[in-house]
C-alpha cells in the first residue's frame, strides 16, 4: 500500500440477497447496496457500479470482488459433476471423513452427502510410502478406465488424491497428465498442487471441493469479465479469497476452493484496514447480521490466520484462512423457553421469511430484532433496505408471550433476549481471545453488519471492554474490506523434523523452492518484481503433537539464529495460549510456508467534511437494563459532524444500521467518519 492513485478502486461483495459496493477515488468514498441477481450475479455487479455513479468505462484501476457463487455451489450441492481418482483401496476416504459426527449424541443427525458419489470415486493401482518411495507403479490402464466412466457419466471435473502424495507427487502429476492426454477439456485438480501436508482426508476434501467449484467459478468469472468488457472496462478484475487476499480473474483457477466463503474474510480485512487507518492496532471485529455473527481478531494491525476453513460440516478446505468464528446469534435468532423453563436464544433463526414477528411475514416467535424494537432501539418507523416497515404491536405480543413463560414483564423479557444473545457472542469472543492468550480488554470492538452497532456497547460491557468503533457504512463493510487487500498466494510444504536437527542450508533451499513457485504465480498475475513481497513462516509444535503454531521468519537466508528465535517465539506463544510450557520436550518443524503478496496500491479513506452542529432528529424512549426507560436523542448518522462529542443515551440511525449508545458511553466522530464510542464509567460486568 504505497501510493494512492487518482483512479477508482471498487470493492463489490455479492451476497445471496444484496450486492454491496464501496468505491474510492481521490478523496471520495461512495457506498451503495443493490439487490443481488441470483439468476446471473454479474448483472447485480453492474447494477452496483451504476448505483454509485461510476461508469464501467471510466478510469477504474481495480475491481475487487467477493462472490458467493462458489459458496452457493457447495452449500446447495450444485457444483460441477466431479469424479475422484484415488489409490486402490481408498476411494471411501472422502466419505469416511474423520469418522466423527457433527452432533455427538443425536441419533437422527446425518452427515451431508459427499460431493462425489461412490460410483464416481475410482481406484487406480499405485502406492507411495511414507518416505516418498514408489512401492507400486501407477497403472495407466486404470486411469483410462476411470476416464471412460467419468465421460459416460457426464463428469466435468476430476480430482486426484493419492496417499503420501504430499511427500512425493510424481504419481498425481503423471495421473493428471494421463487424464488430460485422454480428455483435454477436463478440469483436473491434483491434491499435491494445492497442499503438501499429511492427512489424506483433508487433502482429498480440498482437492474435491476445488474440482467441484472450478467450472462454476470459471464460468462466472468469464461471464462477468465479458460483461465488463462489453462496457469497455479497462481495469483489472480480481476475486477475493478466504485467505484475506485477491487473485486476478485470469488466475482464479489456481485454487478456486479458496473463494468459498470469502465474504466473512473480507469483513475481517476491513477491520485490518481500519486498524491501520485509525491507528488502533488491536481490533476485535464483530459482524452481526440476520442469522449469525462472525467474530475475529486483528492483533498488532494484522488479521490472524488458521490452516483451514470449513464451509460445510465434513468439508475442510485446507488453505490458510482468516481466523474467524461464526455463532448463531443474529437479528433473526429466535427466543424460546425449553421444557423446564430455561430461556434460550438461537441458534434457530427466523431468517428473512417468515422473519421476526415485526416483519409481518408470518413469523410469530420473538427474535432479537423484536426485542430491539420493543426496547425502542429500533425505530418503529424504520424502513429496511427492501422497503419493509416494522410492526411494533406484533413484536410486543411475541416478546410478551416469551416473557409470560418466564414470569418476566415485556421489557425484562426483551432485555433478557438481548443479554442471552450477547452472551452467545461473548462465548465466541472468549474463544477468539482468551483461548488464544489474549485479553479482550486490550481491544477495540469494531462492530458492523446490520445488527452489530446495536449490540456493541452492551457486549463490550459484558466483556469488560471500554472502546467500540462503528465504521462509516456498517452494512457494506465486507465490500470495504476488499479495498485493503493485496494479491495473495500461499504455498507450503511439509518438512517434518526436529528443530534442533534442521540444517539452515537445507531449509533455506526449501524456502527458495517455495518462493520460486510463489513468484512464478505472481509473475503469471503480471505483478512486477518490485511489487512482490515474500513472507516466510514455520509451523512448529512439540514433537508428537499434531496441532502446530505458526511462527513468522524474517525474509532473509535462514541461519541458526533465525531458527533459535523461531523457537523462542513458539514457546512464548505456547505459554500465552496454553498457560504452560512443556519443558524438556523437543520442538518439531511441521511445515514451511510462504505467503506471496503482490502489493496493490491501497486506498486512503477520505476525510469526511465538517458540518454545522445539528439538533437531534427526535427524542424517543429507549429501555436499558440498569437505567430503565430513558429519553434518548435520535440523530441521523449523516448529520453528525467530525469532532462532536455526544453523551449516551443516544440512537444513531442510518440507511442500513442503527447504533445504540447506552448511558455511561460517549460517542465522537473521527476524521474518517467512524463513530468512536467510549465507556465513561465502570459498569458491573
Partner 1 sequence: MTVSPAVGIDPITFEVLNNAFSSVVDEMGALVQNCALSVVVSEARDYSGSICTPAGDLVATGVTDQPAHIGTIPFTVKGMLEWIGQPAADYFSDGDIVITNDAYIGGTHNQDVRLIMPVFHDGEIIAFAQSSAHWTDIGGHVPGTFDPNARSSHGEGLIVPPIRVARAGEIDDDLVRVICRNIRTPDLARGDLLAQIGAVRLARMRILDLVSSYGQAVIVEEMAALIRHSEALLRQEFEALPDGVRQFTVPIDCDPGSASDEPVLLHMRLAIAGHHAEYDFSGCARQAIGAINATRSSTFSSAIVATKAVFPHVPLNQGFFNAIDFVLPDGLVCSAQYPAPISGMAAGTFPGIIDCVLGNYIQVLPLRCMAGPVGLVNTTWGGYDPRPGHEDEFVAYIWLEGGWGGRPAKKDNFTAMCLFSTAARNVPIEQQERVFPLMFDSYRFERDSFGAGLHRGGPGVTRVLHFTHGDAMLSVIGDGERFGPWGWAGGSDAPGAKLIYAPGTEDERSLGMFCTGEMIERSKEVLFFHSGGGGWGDPLERPIEWVLKDVENDLLSPDAARHQYGVVVDSVGGDGRAVAAEGDTRRLRAEMREQRNESSNAAAD
Q: C-alpha grid cell for residue 72?
A: 452457493
Q: Which stretch binds partner 1 (CB under 8 A): 102-110, 218-226, 260-268, 509-517?
A: 102-110
120 binds partner 1 (CB under 8 A): yes
- Helix, strand, coil percentages, rounded to 5, for the chain: 35, 30, 40
**Cβ 100 to partner 1, closest distance in Å?**
4
Q: Taking CB under 8 A as the criterion, which residues in 397-436 touch partner 1?
A: 406-408, 412, 415-416, 419-420, 423-424, 426-427, 430-431, 434-435
Of these, 16, 198, 351, 354, which contacts partner 1 (CB under 8 A)?
198
Counting other chains too, the contacts that 136-144 makes at CB distance below 8 Å and 24 or more residues apart are: 138/171, 138/174, 138/175, 140/178, 142/88, 143/85, 143/175, 143/178, 143/179, 143/182, 144/178, 144/182
Q: C-alpha grid cell for residue 157?
A: 471435473
Of these, 77, 119, 232, 636, which contacts partner 1 (CB under 8 A)?
119
Q: Kindly write out the interface string for residues 130-169 of this chain, putting x where it contacts partner 1 by CB under 8 A and - elsewhere.
A: x----x------------xx--xx---------xx-x---
Q: C-alpha grid cell for residue 577?
A: 495460549
Q: State how far the Cα of 339 lies from the Cα of 366, in Å rounded to an integer.
A: 17
Which C-beta is closer to partner 1: that of 200 or that of 490? 200
117 binds partner 1 (CB under 8 A): yes
Which C-beta is closer to partner 1: that of 110 or that of 185? 110
**Cβ 646 to partner 1, closest distance in Å?**
30
Q: Taking CB under 8 A as the criterion, which residues in 202-231 touch partner 1?
A: 202
8 Å CB contact between 334 and 222? no
105 binds partner 1 (CB under 8 A): yes
Which C-beta is closer to partner 1: that of 423 or that of 568? 423
**Cβ 198 to partner 1, closest distance in Å?**
4
**Cβ 264 to partner 1, closest distance in Å?**
21
Q: Which stretch binds partner 1 (CB under 8 A): 95-103, 174-182, 205-213, 655-663?
A: 95-103
8 Å CB contact between 367 and 334? yes
Q: State how far the Cα of 135 lies from the Cα of 221, in Å rounded to an integer.
A: 42
Only one residue has cell 463489490, namely 12
Dihedrals φ, ψ of 591, to 5°?
-145, 140
Q: State how far the Cα of 396 lies from the Cα of 103, in Å rounded to an integer.
A: 35
Q: Provide the pairing of β-strand 302-303 with 293-299.
A: antiparallel
Q: C-alpha grid cell for residue 313?
A: 460440516
Q: C-alpha grid cell for residue 16?
A: 445471496
Of these, 2, 6, 39, 108, which contacts partner 1 (CB under 8 A)?
108
Which C-beta is closer to partner 1: that of 345 or that of 538? 345
8 Å CB contact between 486 and 565? no
Which C-beta is closer to partner 1: that of 279 or that of 681? 681
Of these, 20, 126, 200, 287, which contacts partner 1 (CB under 8 A)?
200
Q: State how far the Cα of 110 lies from the Cα of 106, in Å rounded to an integer.
A: 9
Only one residue has cell 471500554, namely 466
| Residues facing 241 on adjacent strands | 245
Q: Taking CB under 8 A as the criterion, which residues in 543-572 touch partner 1?
A: 543-547
Which C-beta is closer to partner 1: that of 405 or that of 517? 405
How many residues appear in the chain? Answer: 685
**Cβ 326 to partner 1, closest distance in Å?**
15
Q: Taking CB under 8 A as the criterion, which residues in 171-190 touch partner 1?
A: none
8 Å CB contact between 485 and 64? yes
SS3 551: strand
**Cβ 579 to partner 1, closest distance in Å?**
5
682 binds partner 1 (CB under 8 A): no
Of 441, 454, 468, 460, nearest in space to 685 by CA: 460
Which C-beta is closer to partner 1: that of 88 or that of 361? 88
Of these, 2, 6, 76, 104, which contacts partner 1 (CB under 8 A)?
104
Q: C-alpha grid cell for residue 533?
A: 513481497
CA 425 to chain centre: 16
Which C-beta is closer to partner 1: that of 40 or that of 96? 96
Q: C-alpha grid cell for residue 59?
A: 478510469
Of 240, 164, 238, 156, nearest in space to 195 by CA: 164
8 Å CB contact between 394 and 360? yes
Dihedrals φ, ψ of 317, to 5°?
-105, 110
Of these, 2, 100, 530, 681, which contacts partner 1 (CB under 8 A)?
100
Q: State how far the Cα of 15 lies from the Cα of 448, in Å rounded to an integer.
A: 16
Q: C-alpha grid cell for residue 560?
A: 541458526
Of these, 106, 141, 185, 682, which contacts partner 1 (CB under 8 A)?
106
Q: Which stretch binds partner 1 (CB under 8 A): 293-301, 473-481, 530-538, 542-550?
A: 542-550
Q: Which stretch binds partner 1 (CB under 8 A): 192-200, 243-251, 316-324, 484-492?
A: 192-200
**Cβ 628 to partner 1, closest distance in Å?**
14
Q: Taking CB under 8 A as the criterion, which residues in 337-356 touch partner 1?
A: 337-345
Size of the site for partner 1 (CB under 8 A): 80
92 binds partner 1 (CB under 8 A): yes
Of these, 88, 223, 302, 620, which contacts partner 1 (CB under 8 A)?
88
DSSP string of 223-285, one letter each residue: HHHHHHHHTT--SEEEEEETTTEEEEGGGTTSSGGGGTTHHHHHHHHHHHHHHHHTT---EEE
Of these, 18, 201, 365, 665, which contacts partner 1 (CB under 8 A)?
201
**Cβ 168 to partner 1, closest distance in Å?**
12
Q: Kindly write out the interface string for residues 475-514 of this chain, putting x where it contacts partner 1 by CB under 8 A and - elsewhere.
A: ---------------------x------------------
Which C-beta is closer to partner 1: that of 2 or that of 579? 579
**Cβ 69 to partner 1, closest distance in Å?**
28
Amino acid at each position: 500500500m504505497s501510493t494512492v492513485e487518482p483512479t477508482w478502486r471498487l470493492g463489490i461483495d455479492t451476497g445471496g440477497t444484496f450486492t454491496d459496493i464501496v468505491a474510492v477515488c481521490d478523496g471520495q468514498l461512495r457506498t451503495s447496496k443493490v439487490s443481488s441477481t441470483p439468476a446471473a450475479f454479474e448483472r447485480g455487479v453492474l447494477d452496483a457500479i451504476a448505483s454509485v455513479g461510476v461508469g464501467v468505462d471510466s478510469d477504474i484501476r481495480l475491481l475487487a470482488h467477493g462472490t458467493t457463487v462458489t459458496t452457493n455451489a457447495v452449500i446447495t450441492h450444485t457444483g460441477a459433476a466431479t469424479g475422484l481418482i484415488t489409490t486402490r483401496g481408498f476411494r471411501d476416504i472422502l466419505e469416511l471423513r474423520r469418522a466423527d459426527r457433527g452432533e455427538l449424541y443425536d441419533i437422527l443427525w446425518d452427515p451431508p452427502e459427499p460431493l462425489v458419489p461412490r460410483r464416481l470415486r475410482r481406484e487406480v493401482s499405485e502406492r507411495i510410502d511414507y518416505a516418498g518411495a514408489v512401492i507400486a507403479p501407477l497403472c495407466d490402464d486404470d486411469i483410462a478406465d476411470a476416464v471412460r466412466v467419468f465421460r459416460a457419466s457426464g463428469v466435468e471435473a476430476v480430482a486426484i488424491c493419492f496417499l503420501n502424495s504430499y511427500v512425493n507427487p510424481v504419481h498425481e502429476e503423471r495421473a493428471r497428465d494421463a487424464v488430460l492426454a485422454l480428455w483435454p477439456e477436463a478440469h483436473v485438480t491434483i491434491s499435491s498442487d494445492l497442499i503438501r501436508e499429511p492427512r489424506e482426508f483433508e487433502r482429498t476434501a480440498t482437492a474435491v471441493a476445488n474440482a467441484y467449484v472450478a467450472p462454476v467459478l470459471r464460468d462466472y468469472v468469464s461471464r462477468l469479465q465479458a460483461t465488463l468488457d462489453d462496457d469497455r472496462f479497462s481495469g483489472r478484475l480480481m476475486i477475493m479469497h478466504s485467505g484475506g487476499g485477491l487473485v486476478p480473474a485470469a488466475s482464479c483457477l489456481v485454487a478456486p476452493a479458496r473463494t468459498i466463503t470469502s465474504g466473512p474474510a473480507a469483513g475481517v480485512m476491513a477491520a485490518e484496514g481500519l486498524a491501520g487507518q485509525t491507528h488502533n492496532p488491536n481490533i476485535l471485529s464483530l459482524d452481526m447480521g440476520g442469522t449469525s455473527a462472525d467474530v475475529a481478531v486483528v492483533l498488532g494491525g494484522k488479521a490472524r490466520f488458521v490452516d483451514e476453513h470449513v464451509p460445510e460440516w465434513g468439508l475442510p478446505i485446507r488453505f490458510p484462512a482468516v481466523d474467524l468464528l461464526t455463532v448463531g446469534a443474529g437479528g433473526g435468532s429466535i427466543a424460546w423457553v425449553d421444557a423446564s423453563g430455561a430461556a434460550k436464544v438461537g441458534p434457530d433463526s427466523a431468517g428473512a421469511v417468515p422473519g421476526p414477528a415485526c416483519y409481518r411475514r408470518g413469523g410469530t416467535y420473538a427474535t432479537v430484532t423484536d426485542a430491539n424494537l420493543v426496547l425502542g432501539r429500533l425505530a418503529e418507523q424504520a424502513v429496511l433496505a427492501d422497503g419493509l416497515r416494522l410492526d411494533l404491536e406484533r413484536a410486543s405480543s411475541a416478546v410478551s408471550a416469551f416473557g409470560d413463560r418466564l414470569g418476566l414483564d415485556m421489557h425484562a423479557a426483551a432485555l433478557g433476549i438481548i443479554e442471552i444473545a450477547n452472551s452467545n457472542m461473548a462465548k465466541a469472543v472468549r474463544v477468539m481471545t482468551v483461548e488464544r492468550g489474549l485479553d479482550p480488554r486490550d481491544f477495540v470492538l469494531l462492530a458492523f453488519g446490520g445488527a452489530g452497532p446495536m449490540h456493541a456497547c452492551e457486549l463490550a460491557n459484558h466483556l469488560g471492554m471500554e472502546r467500540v468503533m462503528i465504521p462509516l457504512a456498517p452494512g457494506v463493510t465486507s465490500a470495504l474490506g476488499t479495498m485493503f487487500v493485496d494479491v495473495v498466494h500461499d504455498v507450503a510444504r511439509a518438512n517434518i523434523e526436529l528443530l534442533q536437527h534442521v540444517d539452515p542450508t537445507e531449509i533455506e533451499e526449501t524456502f527458495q523452492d517455495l518462493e520460486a513457485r510463489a513468484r512464478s504465480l505472481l509473475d503469471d498475475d503480471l505483478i512486477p518484481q518490485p511489487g512482490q513481497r515474500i513472507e516466510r513462516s514455520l509451523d512448529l509444535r512439540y514433537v508428537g503433537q499434531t496441532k502446530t503454531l505458526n511462527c513468522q521468519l524474517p525474509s532473509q537466508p535462514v541461519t541458526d539464529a533465525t531458527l533459535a528465535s523461531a523457537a523462542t517465539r513458539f514457546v512464548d506463544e505456547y505459554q500465552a495460549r496454553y498457560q504452560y510450557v512443556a519443558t524438556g520436550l523437543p520442538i518439531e518443524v511441521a511445515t514451511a510456508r510462504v505467503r506471496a503478496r503482490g502489493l496493490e496500491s491501497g486506498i486512503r479513506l477520505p476525510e469526511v467534511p465538517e458540518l454545522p452542529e445539528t439538533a437531534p432528529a427526535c427524542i424517543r424512549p429507549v429501555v436499558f437494563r440498569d437505567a430503565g426507560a430513558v429519553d434518548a436523542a435520535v440523530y441521523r448518522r449523516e448529520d453528525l459532524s467530525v469532532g462532536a462529542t455526544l453523551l449516551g443515551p443516544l440512537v444513531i440511525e442510518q440507511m442500513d444500521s442503527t447504533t445504540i449508545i447506552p448511558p455511561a458511553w460517549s460517542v465522537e466522530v473521527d476524521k474518517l467518519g467512524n463513530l468512536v464510542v467510549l465507556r465513561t464509567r465502570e459498569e458491573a460486568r
